[in-house]
Amino acid sequence: MLILNRKLGESIMVDDRIEIKILDVSDGKVKIGIEAPKSVKVFRTEVYEEIKEENKKASDVSLEGFNKLKGPLK
């Protein structure tokens, strides 16, 4: 992992097209601004973790649970 020190208002350029700027630091929180083309996907890591978790749960269906789907829905 590359580690850089940045001060408030300073930024980092990634791949010539993504700018990551430190907007605010207070109370143990860092506010980050990201400027990137629309095609670049930016998400909190938790979003991905949540989706992975949800996919795992969704795939964890018992045959018994599935069989309830067979037949006309009410």
Partner 1 sequence: MKIQTKFLGEVDIEEKGIISFSEGILGFEESKEFVLLDIPENDVFKVLQDTVHDYVAFIVVNPWKFKGDYALDVPDEELQELKINKEGDIAVLSIVNLSDDFEKSTMNLLAPVIINAEERLGKQYVLNSQSFSTKEPLFAVVEKKSADS
Output the CA torsion 49→51→53→55 (10° steps): -150
Query: For 57, what's the count of Cα atoms within 13 Å in the CB-facing half-sphere?
Result: 6
CB of 49 to partner 1, least distance (A): 9
Site for partner 1 contains 50 (CB under 8 A): yes
List alpha helices for 1-74, DSSP H: 45-59, 63-67
Task: Tell the smallest beta-carbon distance from residue 16 to partner 1 (Å).
Answer: 17
Closest to partner 1 by CB, 26 vs 39, is: 39
Residues at the contact surface with partner 1, assessed by CB under 8 A: 38-39, 41, 43, 47-48, 50-59, 61, 63, 65-73
